[in-house]
Chain A
Amino acid sequence: MAKPKLAYYLAGGCAGCDIALLDLADYLVDVLNAVEVVFFTPSLVDVKYKDFEALPDGSVDVGFFSGNIRNKEHEHIAKLMRKKCKILIAFGICACLGGIKGLVNLYNNQELLEKAYKDTFSTDNPDGILPSPKFIIDGKYELELPELTEAKTLDQVVEVDYYIGGCPPHYNHIKKALTALLEGELPPKGSWITMGHAVCEVCPRNPVGRGELKKPVKEVKRVIEGQLPEDMCLLEAGYLCLGPITLGDCGASCIKANIPCRGCGGPIPGVKDFGLRAISAIASILENEELIDKIVDPIHLFYRYSLAGSMLRKKIKKETKNREV
């Protein structure tokens, strides 16, 4: 029997998901023996776009797409992958919901370029040169860069079959997902590949696990304030942990390292919009309403990984449009 063909593309990501694949260690050797890698750009295999374009449509069995869509090139490859792959998987939270880099949608590209190439303290750019889509060197060599767009999730551009959350996905979770893929035991299309439990359910600090009741939150603190407790529930201690609404395929690894959950796993089943549900859930367990004012910067806190794929993203766009009109 022919080996299943695999394609992998890293778009607007940090290559953390690629490293998470490497974390599979000895299991990765088995996987690579069981599949044929036809496209793994840009990190593993030197396949040119034109070679991938030359493959017949639908000839690749599984395509992994990591990172969000931030320029025309990403968009082109996303459409190409959809054409060539029978199953297309949004791999990692960036492809699923926009990821931490989806927060760029709060600003426009010109602001971001000015900040990165001119305004920061450590930048040395006396001529104020900014990257532009076209650049001519010595009057004859033309260099073309893909044009920046706003950050988009994969499913805003093409149809996605499955989602795997996490920043990056935990290697145990990838292992389970790959095993399910190779054995053909997949959930219905359009769903998240997950065990379906929240982080709280796998968290060793959950008071319910010790037979106690959950207490209301009496204060709101930031991680930089005071010492994080080693053994009690971080929410009860006043640190805003998003465990209650985040998928716990990571095995609560951040909380085990004494860091509150920031929601990279994606929303638990039934949640339409991560950030809205997050503030809703957190607000309703606060002891009194004055505490809500103490939540600093809610968008960056609750939408840290999901702004591009949320309702607010559309809102912001609409608002700016109105202003232009």
Chain B
Amino acid sequence: MAKPKIAVLCCNYTNSATDEDFKDFPCEIVIKRFPCSGSIEIVDILKEFEDDAEGVLVCGCEKEKCHNKTGNLRAEKRVLGAKKYLEEIGIDPERAQMAFVPRLDTGAFVETVKDFVEKILNKR
């Protein structure tokens, strides 16, 4: 059986993780990088669900650390918006989540992804 797929949409400056970092994970991790988490649209999140992702994690920089001032706060509001839609169409809204991670810290990023993966896999 194919491994479950988890999509991570992140700000380019949060990490420099490679496939190597996720090789022990029990699922397929797809990382998509954006110039800033503020440029992640709800369309991007739902598109991942359309492409059979089990969960979508949006990662932005920590609050007040965003290089573009409010990009991460915008991302947070958009994730909340996406959750509202997911709830309405009968998908568990917890499958989309926002996380604030330190800038340029791959270790912390991998930990956050790991927590999210565990949460999603527990739902199966």
Contacts and interface: CB of A to CB of B under 8 A. Distances in A.
A53 to B, nearest CB: 38
A319 B89 CA distance: 8
Nearest to A303: B85
Contacts of B84: 279, 292, 295, 298
Interface in B76-116: 76-78, 80-82, 84-85, 88-91
A92 B12 CA distance: 41
A2 B3 CA distance: 64
A296 to B, nearest CB: 10
Contacts of A319: 89-91
Nearest to A272: B43
B85 A299 contact: yes
Contacts of B49: 315
A297 B84 CA distance: 9
A280 B80 CA distance: 10
A298 B42 CA distance: 13
B62 to A, nearest CB: 16
B64 to A, nearest CB: 15
A129 B112 CA distance: 57
Contacts, number: 71
A292 B42 CA distance: 14
Interface stretch (A28-36, A171-179, A282-290): A282-290
Interface size class of A (residues with CB under 8 A): 20 to 34
A287 to B, nearest CB: 10
Contact of A283 (B43, B80, B88): B80
Given A289-B76, A292-B80, A319-B91, A279 B85 contact: yes
A303 to B, nearest CB: 9
Contacts of B20: none
A315 B41 contact: no
Contacts of A277: 41-43
A208 interface: no
A315 B80 contact: no
A276 B42 contact: yes
A311 B89 contact: no
A298 B88 contact: yes
B46 interface: yes
Given A299-B89, A319-B90, A319-B91, A292 B81 contact: yes
Interface in A211-268: none
B80 A276 contact: no
B50 interface: yes
A318 B88 CA distance: 15
B74 interface: yes
9 closest cross-chain pairs (CB), A and B: A283-B77, A279-B81, A283-B81, A276-B42, A292-B80, A284-B74, A280-B42, A276-B43, A299-B88
7 contacts: A276-B43, A280-B81, A283-B78, A289-B76, A298-B81, A315-B49, A319-B91
Given A277-B41, A315-B46, 20 more contacts: A273-B43, A276-B42, A276-B43, A279-B42, A280-B42, A280-B78, A282-B81, A283-B80, A283-B81, A284-B77, A284-B78, A292-B81, A293-B80, A298-B81, A311-B50, A312-B89, A315-B50, A315-B89, A315-B91, A316-B90
